[in-house]
Amino acid sequence: MGNFFKFESDFVNTLHCIPMQIRMNLDTCGIKLKLAHWNQLSDEERQTLVEKPCGTESEIVAYSNFLQGLVVEKTGSPASEIAVESAPPWMNATNIPATTKQKAAEFGIDIAIEQWAQLTPLQRFALIKLSRPSHENKNFYPALEEFGLVHL
């Protein structure tokens, strides 16, 4: 299946948007996949990308090659490449990015470093992505709730 979040529930059944786990894989292997590319993929191809591992060096290479092959097949040219961070912030359990802390503060939430450390890398990735100024942030608060960071 896949590691989908509740805040993604409005689209994960059809996979018409790129889920966070795929977005993390894209950042891990250095591919900037446009939504237009994603939407040209078949349901089976999208599901394969959801299930395909992308953790070890060889898996990352295989994932990248598989995805670029699909994009070339559909569009005639590969997707753009992006720089891969050697120490991505979602893998750092001891430092909360300033933009994430600031976005949480807008909702009156102060994420403690202990709470950040308890999150999975995928959860940290989601909060980082959802807190970026260029991102539509409607799912940031639902993510905070889902991850147990909102205390009523």
Name the DSSP class of 27. H
Query: Tokens 């939430």 correspond to what residue?
Result: 109
pLDDT in tens, 30-82: 999 998 999 999 989 999 999 999 999 999 999 999 999 999 999 999 999 99
Give the pLDDT band of residue 125 (cuts 50, 70, 90). Answer: very high
DSSP 8-state class, residue 110: -
